[in-house]
């Protein structure tokens, strides 16, 4: 898995100011900062945005290229005291710690990954009151690495059902499929659908 993503990031120029995901800024802007975990941090737009707003962020990715680039960006932005990039193959290891926010934006890969197990581990790593934000592709953008016409995008409700979280401990705060106008890395725009699941640990 790491070789595929190392190749993906190495083929691109290093980002100098990566943008955060739209659903993150929409749903998290009003939350008080605490400890956050960004699963599959990629170029680091989400992690940098959170750290810039006072969160202490652990940013995990399987790609050493992505992790090294984000570490350099954090230093360049003066955020290395609040942002710790770490390399993790989530199929075999999960970052340690307890968190107030865990984000998994577009955690899709062509390799075998028990994503449900990863997201269950994430839910268990939340502190009481903490939130797990899962944002998946609900449509295929023209610039997506996966252009398989037969791909199926599970709904947020299906993702939540697969987690099988105890309603006495976790509650679903949002599960919907909003649309938005997105801009790809090559500047093209397209309307895309996001599958948004927001889960809160209540006990």
Q: Packing angle between helix 64-76 and helix 2-10, nearest 10 degrees?
A: 50
From the list 67, 26, 7, the residue with the least C-alpha distance to 43 is 67
**pLDDT for 1:** 53
> Among residues of the chain, what percentage have pLDDT more than 90?
70
Tell me whether residue 53 is exposed, middle or buried, using C-beta atoms within 10 angstroms of its C-beta: 0 to 12, 13 to 18, 19 or more: middle
182 pLDDT more than 90: no
What is the pTM for the complete model shown? Answer: 0.90
Average pLDDT over residues 115-133: 96
**What residue spans define the domains of the chain?**
2-201
Distance CA 66, CA 157 (A): 31
From the list 141, 189, 145, the residue with the least C-alpha distance to 42 is 145
Cα separation values, 132 from 17, 59, 123, 128, 150, Å:
25, 15, 6, 11, 28
Distance CA 30, CA 52 (A): 14
Tell me whether residue 58 is exposed, middle or buried, using C-beta atoms within 10 angstroms of its C-beta: 0 to 12, 13 to 18, 19 or more: buried
Cα 187 to its chain centre, rounded Å, is 22
For 126-178, what is each residue's pLDDT tens digit?
999 999 999 998 876 655 656 566 677 789 999 999 999 999 999 999 999 99
User: How many residues are given for the chain?
Assistant: 203
Q: Which residue pairs from 73-80 have beta carbons closer than 8 angstroms and sit at least 24 positions apart in sequence?
A: 73/15, 73/16, 73/18, 73/44, 73/48, 74/44, 74/47, 74/48, 77/48, 77/51, 77/52, 79/48, 79/51, 79/52
CATH fold group of domain 2-201:
Rossmann fold (3.40.50)
Distance CA 203, CA 189 (A): 42
152 neighbors 170 (Cβ within 8 angstroms): no
Give me the phi and psi of 131, to 5 degrees please. -125, 145
For 52-95, what is each residue's pLDDT tens digit?
999 999 999 999 999 999 999 999 999 999 999 999 999 899 99
């Amino acid at each position: 898995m790491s070789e595929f993503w190392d190749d993906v990031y190495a083929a691109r120029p290093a980002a100098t100011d990566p943008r955060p995901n739209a659903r993150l800024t929409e749903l998290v802007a009003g939350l008080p900062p605490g400890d956050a975990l960004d699963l599959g941090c990629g170029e680091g737009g989400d992690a940098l945005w959170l750290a810039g707003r006072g969160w202490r962020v652990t940013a995990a990715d399987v790609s050493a290229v992505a992790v090294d680039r984000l570490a350099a960006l954090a230093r360049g932005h003066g955020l290395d005291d609040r942002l710790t990039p770490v390399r993790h193959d989530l199929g075999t290891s999960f970052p340690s710690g307890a968190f107030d926010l865990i984000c998994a934006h577009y955690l899709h890969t062509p390799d075998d990954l028990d994503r449900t197990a990863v997201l269950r581990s994430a839910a268990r790593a939340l502190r009481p009151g903490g939130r797990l934000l899962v944002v998946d592709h609900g449509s295929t953008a023209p610039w997506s690495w996966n252009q398989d016409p037969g791909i199926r995008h599970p709904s947020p409700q299906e993702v939540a059902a697969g987690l099988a979280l105890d309603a006495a401990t976790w509650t679903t705060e949002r599960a919907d499929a909003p649309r938005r106008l997105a801009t790809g890395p090559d500047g093209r725009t397209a309307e895309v659908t996001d599958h948004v699941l927001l889960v809160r640990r209540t006990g």
